[in-house]
């Protein structure tokens, strides 16, 4: 396909591969299709294809929107097909997929545009702004679609509409890069390690193509590209924590935005980035914190903390539902005055050109204190930390934090290094003490909903199916059917949210028994918090289900809130649910 890096791949080849991926049910089959596509691409093309396969133009942390609404897309396709908008709208209502609509209405079967030509045009469309931008974007997209075949048009439109959803995760892409090189997954761990410290799939792919595994094992932290955050396991008693860790340190668990802060200073400017838990760049939302962090005496820095709204009058933290109001793109300056944030740092990962990932927690804590010690503002602090060796002492500290209105504790091993992208018992969340029941919350993903009956018939929704993520199978597995905990207005709001992500068919990465099929499937994107009385074993649910073991289910689940700061893959994992179930039984 290419020689000495000459760019020659046609976009129609990518579209055909995407079509094959869409029709392939097995993960290993998708891995092979991707590997073949990667093998045929040049160094620059593979980077682009990685981004496009994720339905984006750039790394996932840069959430670029095309700003072309559904109505505008219908108008574009109507003009392209020479048909009334009402006909196209009817097609869309029937098919539920704007990509299938354009594929049906646009019958051209040739496309000479290269991957780069399509990509550069899409970037140009995304960057159009200002007066008349909507009309200009539409004109550019129409011109692009006229130059491609119907299959290519299908995937281009889906990328623009943010509805590509080919059904595989980042890990499948990494496996495919290994498969491209060796014909198996032997290099996957090295590729994952590189991705964990530099969360840019396209850059990892480009490095693999250009420099091979030697380049991958040499990849390092880059300020401005997020590090995949470490995650905590969960136990339900101070006794269980001490039995697991022995001597440890505990920090209050604040219910705010978990942020990864990047600072890079040069002679001419200071760049500050705030990345969310799911690695989206939220920098523009925090001008108040940006100003404070930029004054730290560093040349480069990556640290982690919780940004949370603090009420000066009551001297208390506001709940997450209030803090989340700061997550906005408009009236940001006024919100920073009305709802000022405090940033509580709890870890440091990089300082002045040096990675600190391999240093122990104890050492990193000393370094963090040294960086922040000269700051004299309440808006930037280091989270409190206390050492413990006895369960009763840890229990007392836990109850003190609960009484103060906090979620609980995060307990850490002092000798542990920082392990990006890993969830393990180096960190343990202690949120509630449970005696034979789960008096706690679980983060779940909404998978679909059921039509309403009785009073809820007018809402068109009466219950919804939720699941958790199984990273080993790259699959969402069902764990509960939720029908309580919402007001009438919240049911209406959920229906609207689901309308934007509803699907015609069951997603490939969702495991569900037929008896639980919802009336409407949705793309697994919405994360919410549910409270449950306990975790039970259930043959009806697929979470953790094997041939010799029933699945896990939540008994009497109630909706609590949404978690817009979490991606679907950041929801409670099957491993975490198993630990909660085991601990629940120990205490019963």
Residue 541: strand, helix, or coil: coil
Rounded CA-CA distance 481/545 in Å is: 17
Rounded CA-CA distance 296/289 in Å is: 11
Residues 6+ apart with CB under 8 A from 407: 253, 254, 255, 401, 431
| Residue (of 86, 95, 67, 94) closest to 154 by Cα position | 95
Between the CA of residue 518 and those of 129, 152, 176, 379, 536, what are the distances in Å? 40, 31, 33, 46, 21
DSSP string, 399-455: HHHHHTT--EEEEE-TTPPP-TT-EEEEEEEE----SSS--EEEEEEEEEEE---GG
Rounded CA-CA distance 404/317 in Å is: 9
Give the distance, in angstroms, between the CA of residue 223 and the centroid of all CA atoms in the same chain.
20
Longest dimension (CA), the chain: 75
b/e sequence 37-49, b meaning 16+ C-beta within 10 Å: bbebbbbbbbbbb
Rounded CA-CA distance 514/537 in Å is: 18
Rounded CA-CA distance 376/170 in Å is: 42
Task: Dihedral sign for Cα 451, 453, 456, 459, please.
Answer: positive
Rounded CA-CA distance 551/547 in Å is: 10
Cβ atoms of residues 460 and 534 within 8 Å: no
325 is catalytic: no
- Written as six digits, the tokens of 301 are 């820095």
Cβ atoms of residues 370 and 211 within 8 Å: no
Rounded CA-CA distance 199/171 in Å is: 12
Rounded CA-CA distance 308/121 in Å is: 40
Between the CA of residue 557 and those of 183, 438, 508, 576, what are the distances in Å? 45, 11, 25, 17
Beta-carbon-side half-sphere exposure of residue 258 (alpha carbons within 13 Å): 19
Cβ atoms of residues 80 and 74 within 8 Å: no
Q: Which of 137, 209, 253, 495 is catalytic?
A: 253
Q: How many CB atoms lie within 10 A of CB 228?
A: 18
DSSP string, 448-507: EEE---GGGGGGT-SEEEEEEEETTTTEEEEEEEE--S--HHHHHHHHHHHHTTEESS--
DSSP string, 146-208: TTS-HHHHHHHHHHHHT----S--HHHHHHHHHHHHHSSSTTHHHHHHHHHHS--HHHHHHHH
Residues marked active site are found at 253
């Amino acid at each position: 396909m290419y020689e000495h890096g000459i760019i020659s791949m046609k976009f129609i080849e990518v579209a055909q591969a995407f079509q094959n991926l869409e029709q392939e049910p097995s993960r290993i089959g998708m891995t092979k299709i991707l590997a073949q596509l990667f093998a045929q691409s040049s160094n620059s093309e593979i980077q682009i294809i990685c981004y496009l396969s994720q339905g984006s133009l750039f790394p996932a942390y840069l959430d670029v929107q095309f700003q072309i609404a559904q109505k505008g897309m219908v108008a574009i396709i109507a003009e392209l097909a020479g048909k009334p908008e009402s006909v196209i709208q009817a097609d869309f209502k029937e098919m539920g997929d704007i990509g299938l609509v354009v594929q049906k209405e646009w019958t051209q079967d040739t496309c000479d545009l290269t991957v780069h030509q399509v990509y550069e045009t899409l970037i140009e469309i995304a960057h159009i702004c200002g007066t008349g931008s909507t009309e200009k974007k539409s004109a550019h997209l129409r011109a692009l679609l006229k130059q491609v075949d119907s299959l290519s048009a299908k995937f281009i439109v889906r990328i623009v509409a943010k509805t590509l959803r080919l059904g595989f995760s980042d890990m499948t892409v990494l496996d495919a890069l290994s498969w491209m090189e060796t014909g198996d997954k032997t290099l996957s761990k090295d590729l994952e390690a590189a991705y964990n410290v530099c969360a840019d799939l396209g850059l990892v792919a480009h490095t693999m193509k250009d420099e091979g595994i030697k380049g991958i094992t040499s990849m390092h932290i880059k300020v401005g590209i997020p590090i995949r955050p470490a995650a905590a396991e969960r136990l339900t008693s101070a006794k269980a924590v001490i039995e697991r860790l022995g001597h440890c340190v505990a920090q209050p668990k604040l219910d705010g935005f978990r942020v990864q802060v990047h600072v890079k200073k040069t002679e001419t400017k200071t760049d500050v980035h705030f990345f969310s838990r799911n690695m989206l760049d939220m920098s523009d939302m925090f001008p108040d914190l940006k100003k404070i962090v930029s004054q730290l005496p560093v040349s480069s820095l990556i640290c982690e903390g919780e940004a949370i709204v603090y009420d000066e009058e009551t001297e208390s933290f506001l709940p997450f539902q209030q803090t989340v109001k700061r997550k906005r793109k408009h009236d940001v300056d006024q919100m920073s005055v009305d709802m000022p944030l405090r940033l509580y740092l709890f870890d440091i990962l990089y300082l002045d050109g040096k990675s600190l990932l391999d240093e122990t927690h104890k050492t990193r804590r000393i370094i963090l204190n040294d960086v922040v010690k000269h700051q004299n503002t309440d808006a930037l602090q280091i989270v409190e930390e206390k050492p413990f060796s006895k369960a009763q002492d840890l229990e007392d500290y836990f109850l003190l934090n609960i009484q103060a209105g906090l979620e609980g504790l995060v307990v850490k091993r002092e000798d542990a290094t920082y392990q990006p992208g890993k969830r393990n018992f180096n960190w343990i969340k202690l949120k509630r003490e449970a005696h034979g029941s789960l008096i706690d919350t679980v983060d779940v993903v909404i998978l679909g909903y059921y039509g309403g009956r009785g009073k809820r018939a007018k809402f068109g929704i009466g219950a919804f199916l939720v699941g958790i993520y199984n990273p080993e199978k790259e699959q969402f597995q069902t764990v509960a059917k939720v029908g309580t905990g919402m007001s009438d207005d919240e049911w209406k709001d959920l229906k609207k949210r689901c309308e934007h992500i509803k699907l015609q068919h069951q997603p490939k990465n969702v495991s569900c028994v037929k008896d639980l099929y919802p009336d409407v499937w949705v793309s697994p994107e919405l994360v919410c918090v549910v409270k449950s009385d306990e975790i039970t074993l259930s043959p009806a649910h697929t979470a953790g289900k094997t041939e010799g073991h029933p699945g896990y289910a939540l008994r009497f689940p109630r909706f609590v809130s949404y978690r817009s700061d979490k991606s679907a893959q950041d929801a409670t994992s099957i491993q975490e649910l198993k630990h909660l179930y085991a601990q629940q039984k120990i205490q019963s």
